[in-house]
Amino acid sequence: MSRHVIVLIIASNRNRHPLIKGRSLKRQSILCRPVVYIMESATRCDIHIGNGRYVRVQEWKGDLRVDIREWDKKIPTKKGVSLPLGRWKHFVESVETIDDALNTKYLEFYNNHLGGNVYCTVEGVCVDIRQYWKPADTVIPTRKGICLRADEYKRLKDSIPQIGQTLPELDAFVPCYLQSDHQNQLGMLSCAECNPNDSQNL
């Protein structure tokens, strides 16, 4: 397991900070240095799927995510998507239909809602996993996402068992759409994961 250190720097405000107020200027100058908090994110697995693109299982403050991303000299780019457990599980369960869409020339445009505003689409030989947003009546793609070429998708798909071994939590994870509050339509419509753009208007 490798570890990445995330450093958050919070500049303190000498006039408002209750511990600093009223102290000597010299003491204040010491206290007013930026406060540095060090938090660690753990990477459970790190698999290269080709062309500088990696799939990583990351844990940060108890939040587990599967990150599929292009990196540029060890720096993450915007080309990528970070999937929480529910969305990753949905993707894994969709592999068969994605393969059908890739192998069937005459299939209509494949579009699978993974949760929130994240969708998986198949365009030609590419599998696109992307964040969308809804400015009007329909959702449109943003630049946050990744279009996987055929060989990258194949490596990602082949890595699913290996990723699963590092994600024992996935077996016990129950997607929101299988939970009791989704048994009636209103429950599902008011869920931000299933109905992200209108759930707050109900």
Q: In what order do the strands lie in the sheet with 118-123?
A: 2-10, 35-50, 53-60, 63-72, 75-84, 140-148, 126-133, 118-123, 110-115
From the CB of 87, what's the least distance to Zn ion, in Å? 11
For residue 118 the two structure tokens come to 């994240």
From the CB of 184, what's the least distance to Zn ion, in Å? 12
Which segments within the chain are labelled E, that is strand?
2-10, 35-50, 53-60, 63-72, 75-84, 110-115, 118-123, 126-133, 140-148
From the CB of 186, what's the least distance to Zn ion, in Å? 12
* 193 lies in the binding site for Zn ion (CB under 5 A): yes
Among 69, 194, 197, 199, binds Zn ion (CB under 5 A): 194
Q: Which stretch binds Zn ion (CB under 5 A): 3-11, 20-28, 121-129, 169-177?
A: 169-177
From the CB of 142, what's the least distance to Zn ion, in Å? 21
Q: Enumerate binding residues for Zn ion (CB under 5 A).
A: 176, 191, 193-194
